[in-house]
Amino acid sequence: MDTGDQQITARMDGLIEELNSMNTSYAQGTPEVSDQTYDALYETLLQLEREHPDLVRADSPTLRVGSDLSADLPEVPHTIPVLSLDKAYAESAITSWMERIEKRVEQQLSFVIEEKIDGVSIVLYYEDGLLVRAVTRGNGYVGNDVTSNVRTIREVPLRLKRAVTVAVRGEIFLTREDFRQLNSTMEIEYANPRNLTAGTIRRIRSSEVARLPLRIFVYEGFFSDGQMQPETHAGLLDDLRLLGFIINPRYHICSSSDALTGYLEDAARERGSLPYEIDGLVIKVNEFPVRESLGYTGHHPRWAIAYKFEAPMAESVVTAIDVQIGRTGRATPVARIEPVLIGGSTVSNVTLHNQDYVELLELCIGDTVSVSKRGDVIPAVERVIEKNEQGNRLWHMPERCPSCGGPLIRQGAHHFCTDHDCPDQVYGRLTFFVGKGQMDIDGLGSETIRTLISRKLARDPADLYHIDYEQLISEPGFGPKKVQQISKSIRESLDRPYEVVLRSLGIPEVGKKASQLLIKSGIRSIDQLIELAQHGEVEQLTGIRGFGEKTAQTIIREFSDPAVLEQIEELKAVGLSFCEQQSEQPALPQVFTDQVWCVTGSFEHYQPRSIAEKLIEARGGRVVSSVTGKTTHLLAGSSAGSKLAKAQKLGVRIVAEQEFTTMLEDVPQ
Ligand code: IVH
């Protein structure tokens, strides 16, 4: 570079520094200079750059104006997993989520509550401090490259205060006021600020984007190894601010679930007075080591949850109310409604829980109701919007069971059919026992079970093991192939481990998780469990992590009930396993339960790599040989090749050897 160039570069550097600093104070709401002063400096820089195009810096604020070059929006892969959040609609659901985490984690922890900005999600990629790419969320693995548009946003730093390599997640939005003003000048008006922001960010001409006062708040940062490792989320937000980003200052640190009371509902009430739109709050575990130990499900981090202000809702008419009898005899009223689309699926049946709930709603057949779907959970009738005009009265639970005709008796909040032989109860018991999540007996589908019940061949699960299926060959629906299949799967089911048998008994509160926890706590046989129940050992049960008072009391009641004990005896007699097989090693904490791991590359400490695979399996994880959409973790050693690339593409969590070793050691007990 000659001396002339050096002088010009120094001049440009000075201008860029000044303009960037003005930009920051502008973005933070404390402008240092008038717009005219800013514009004059800006013009000077622009002039210099026109004269010396080879000296233009990649982080020059003039690049924010964008070009008029037309370009498609190419698809680019994300190099970090861009996950979404699990959601809940009730404060109680949020507090119980927090309590679950507090129970799981031994150390003192805190939560950060942020506003959930209703804008457009963006990932900003910086390399050595320079903005190199801005990518929309897309499907979480691949997004659209909108770099030139995002460069026009004054609040997005083009160069960070430190030369770090980092991916930053944030939300681009328009304030209500800016939206109102802009929208009034549009030919076609947008429904809300979010839609206008989304439309703008995807424009082909970035000069059109530059005209809009888009804003950004950033809320997550993923630093390249070894660079800036804040211990907490609050620390990360500080770091991001110091690097030059705008973070939403309206966040709240909450020391425990108890301290949350009322906060969420207050926030929901106050949202209308904010200058921008929010559609909920996000609650995040503050401590990063705890986040790591909680991990991820396929799509969501376990360490954060969204509290959404409104559930998807639709209106429909109740055409009938039927009563369903479950396997325990419980009678549940179900509203049949005219089919409506809610949150992406058609709903035509909605549970009404019990008589009290119907009374609370003051619900009659023919009423128009609003139906919500909270999260991906079961739909619920929220309220009656319009009473029916046919003069129908409040619905009442019938006196007799619709299945067996016996009396329905009220016990607590619910009504029950008390006849153990009621066909619907028998059907419920048997289909549950043979179902996929339980004994998984192939060939015994719902029609087959109905036939066995109507022939009076099966009443309890143990009966399924006494039937001579060969004798049914001539019956409709029981060809030789079918009979062979049933006999084979019945035989195979005798080998199911105790844990599976236990959860298949259908005892309230004793599902998959509880069965595992009971066994892990050392209660390794049904006889031990029965003895404990008969001695009323509540404390031994509440001492198990994840077991509350209610679970303990239910277990004690159920395993003291003569009918349950008789059912167990019968199943013992047919040869099912009621005792956990002794393994030489003490059971390890099943920290990798529900995780699907793939192992690739070579390792310093796990040689051959089947050692690592065994370690994963011993902690409840499943090991597969290739990376697919179902894989949750890739353990990547040195010279990991195509599997690593595929995992990155699919957003699979990538774990290096050292981190893996820590995961094995840092297990919550
Ligand atoms: S955290 C892994 N924080 O809400 C962390 N998200 O599904 C995931 N959003 O796609 C996101 N404000 O676009 C987070 N303060 C905030 C947010 C926020 C808005 C959006 C984001 C994400 C969606 C959640």
| DSSP codes joined into one string, 121-163 | EEEEEEETTEEEEEEE-TTSSEEEB-HHHHTT-TTS-SB-SS-
Distance CA 440, CA 500 (A): 10
CA-closest candidate to residue 534, choices 515, 558, 510: 558
| DSSP letter, residue 467 | -
The CA 241 to ligand 1 mean position distance, Å, reads 18
CA-closest candidate to residue 545, choices 578, 579, 522: 522
Band of pLDDT at residue 35, cut at 50, 70 and 90: low
Percent of the chain with pLDDT over 70: 94
Distance CA 379, CA 548 (A): 27
The CA 89 to ligand 1 mean position distance, Å, reads 16
pLDDT at position 454 over 50: yes
To test the pocket of ligand 1, the residue of 78, 82, 85 to mutate (highest count of ligand atoms within 8 Å of its CB) is 85
CB of 308 sitting under 6 A from ligand 1: no
pLDDT computed for residue 666 by the predictor: 67
pLDDT computed for residue 29 by the predictor: 58
Residue range 315-414, CATH number: 2.40.50.140
Among 234-248, 279-293, 362-376, 511-525, which stretch is predicted with the lowest mean pLDDT?
Answer: 362-376
pLDDT at position 131 over 80: yes
Band of pLDDT at residue 669, cut at 50, 70 and 90: very low
Crossing angle for the helix pair 263-270 and 91-104, to the nearest 10 degrees: 140
CB of 291 sitting under 6 A from ligand 1: no
Most confident of the following: 48-62, 419-433, 459-473: 419-433
Q: Pick the more confident residue, 470 or 301.
A: 301
Band of pLDDT at residue 70, cut at 50, 70 and 90: very low
Tally of CA atoms within 13 A in the half-sphere of 17 that contains its CB: 7
Identify the residue whose C-alpha is closest to ligand 1 atom 12: 116
Q: Which fold has domain 86-308?
A: D-amino Acid Aminotransferase; Chain A, domain 1 (3.30.470)
CB of 120 sitting under 6 A from ligand 1: no
What are the backbone angles phi and psi of residue 321, rounded to the nearest 5°?
Answer: -130, 115
- Sketch the domain layout of the chain as residue ranges: 3-65, 86-308, 315-414, 423-493, 498-574, 596-665
CB of 233 sitting under 6 A from ligand 1: no
CB of 171 sitting under 6 A from ligand 1: yes
Overall average pLDDT of the 546-550 stretch = 84
Torsion of CA 257, 258, 262, 267, to 10 degrees: -40
Identify the residue whose C-alpha is closest to ligand 1 atom 16: 116
Band of pLDDT at residue 30, cut at 50, 70 and 90: low
- Token match 């019938």: residue? 398
What are the backbone angles phi and psi of residue 418, rounded to the nearest 5°?
Answer: -95, 5
The CA 212 to ligand 1 mean position distance, Å, reads 23
Overall average pLDDT of the 231-241 stretch = 97
Structure-token pair, residue 490: 């019945």
Distance CA 426, CA 463 (A): 11
Band of pLDDT at residue 156, cut at 50, 70 and 90: very high
According to DSSP, the β-strands at 653-656 and 633-636 are parallel
Most confident of the following: 203-217, 272-286, 533-547, 629-643: 272-286
Distance CA 400, CA 395 (A): 15
What are the backbone angles phi and psi of residue 208, rounded to the nearest 5°?
Answer: -70, -30
CB of 83 sitting under 6 A from ligand 1: yes
pLDDT computed for residue 313 by the predictor: 86
pLDDT computed for residue 67 by the predictor: 43
| 518, 533 Cβ separation under 8 angstroms | no
Q: Evaluate whether the domain defined by 423-493 bears CATH number 3.40.190.10.
A: no
Architecture category of domain 596-665 in CATH: 3-Layer(aba) Sandwich (3.40)
Identify the residue whose C-alpha is closest to ligand 1 atom 18: 116
Identify the residue whose C-alpha is closest to ligand 1 atom 6: 116
Q: Evaluate whether the domain defined by 498-574 bears CATH number 1.20.120.530.
A: no
Ligand 1, atom nearest to 85 Cα: 7
Each residue's pLDDT tens digit, 302-339: 999 999 887 778 999 999 999 999 999 999 999 999 99
CA-closest candidate to residue 290, choices 278, 302, 308, 273: 302
Each residue's pLDDT tens digit, 349-404: 999 988 988 888 889 999 999 998 865 567 889 889 998 888 888 899 999 999 99
Average pLDDT of the chain to the nearest whole number: 87
CB of 114 sitting under 6 A from ligand 1: yes
- 180 membership: H or E segment, kind and range: helix 176-184
pLDDT at position 244 over 80: yes
Structure-token pair, residue 20: 């960037």
Distance CA 452, CA 444 (A): 10
Q: Do domains 423-493 and 498-574 have the same CATH topology?
A: yes
Residues with a known catalytic role: 116
Distance CA 499, CA 518 (A): 9
pLDDT computed for residue 288 by the predictor: 95
Structure-token pair, residue 168: 């930053």
pLDDT computed for residue 570 by the predictor: 93
Three-state SS annotation for 368-408: EEEEEECCCCCEEEEEEEECCCCCCCCCCCCCECCCCCCEE
Residue type (1 letter), 179: F
CB of 117 sitting under 6 A from ligand 1: yes
Q: Count other Cβ atoms within 10 Å, centred on residue 297.
A: 12
The CA 85 to ligand 1 mean position distance, Å, reads 7
Distance CA 495, CA 581 (A): 11
Pick the CATH number of 3-65 from 1.10.287.610, 3.90.79.10, 2.60.40.650, 1.10.3720.10: 1.10.287.610
Percent of the chain with pLDDT over 90: 45
pLDDT computed for residue 3 by the predictor: 75
pLDDT at position 649 over 80: yes
Structure-token pair, residue 487: 């006999």
Each residue's pLDDT tens digit, 507-524: 988 998 899 989 988 899
pLDDT computed for residue 476 by the predictor: 85
Band of pLDDT at residue 226, cut at 50, 70 and 90: confident
pLDDT computed for residue 1 by the predictor: 67
Global pTM value: 0.54
Structure-token pair, residue 277: 């739109």
| CA 325 vs CA 82, 176, 260, 436, 631: distances in Å | 43, 51, 39, 21, 39
The CA 379 to ligand 1 mean position distance, Å, reads 25
Each residue's pLDDT tens digit, 76-130: 888 898 888 988 888 888 999 999 999 888 888 999 999 999 999 999 999 999 9
Identify the residue whose C-alpha is closest to ligand 1 atom 9: 116
CA-closest candidate to residue 95, choices 263, 221, 250: 263
To test the pocket of ligand 1, the residue of 78, 82, 84 to mutate (highest count of ligand atoms within 8 Å of its CB) is 84
Distance CA 87, CA 280 (A): 10
To test the pocket of ligand 1, the residue of 80, 112, 116, 139 to mutate (highest count of ligand atoms within 8 Å of its CB) is 116
pLDDT computed for residue 122 by the predictor: 96
CB of 85 sitting under 6 A from ligand 1: yes
Residues 6+ apart with CB under 8 A from 382: 313, 369, 370, 371, 372
The CA 59 to ligand 1 mean position distance, Å, reads 27
CB of 301 sitting under 6 A from ligand 1: yes
pLDDT computed for residue 72 by the predictor: 60
CB of 306 sitting under 6 A from ligand 1: yes
The CA 219 to ligand 1 mean position distance, Å, reads 8
pLDDT computed for residue 374 by the predictor: 67
Cα 261 to chain centroid distance, Å, stands at 23
CB of 220 sitting under 6 A from ligand 1: yes
CA-closest candidate to residue 321, choices 276, 370, 295, 355: 355
